[in-house]
Amino acid sequence: MKQVIEVNGIQLYAHHGCLPEEALIGGHYIVDIALLTDFQSAAETDELNQTVDYVAINQIVKEEMAIRSKLIEHVGERMNLRIRKELKGIDQLRVKITKLTPPINGDVKNVAIIISDLEVY
């Protein structure tokens, strides 16, 4: 059986964007990670080493968001690759980065990118 783990609403301040002002001023972001895994053993044994560690996911997200990029698409792909490489037992993964109040000449609440091969739910 496969199960889903979600780490949602990781709130960060970062300096991504194509405009020079974004590099200086920065902005608010929210990152959501979902992954398909098998944590049945962890559910039965209550052992952290039998599942994906949420702390490790949060740490990867924070580290990648701290590296300035023009595009959140680029940041999302870095997260995607690192999570898959560094964490074991992930069958499918979804990375969502939301940029709050983007400077795009309009009253826009947010923009988001999603990188995903997650087929469940």
Active site residues: 99
Q: Which residues contact 119 (CB under 8 A, 6 or more apart)?
A: 36, 92
**Per-residue exposure over 36-56, b if at least 16 CB sit within 10 Å of its own CB, e if not:** bbbbeebeeeeeeeebbeeee
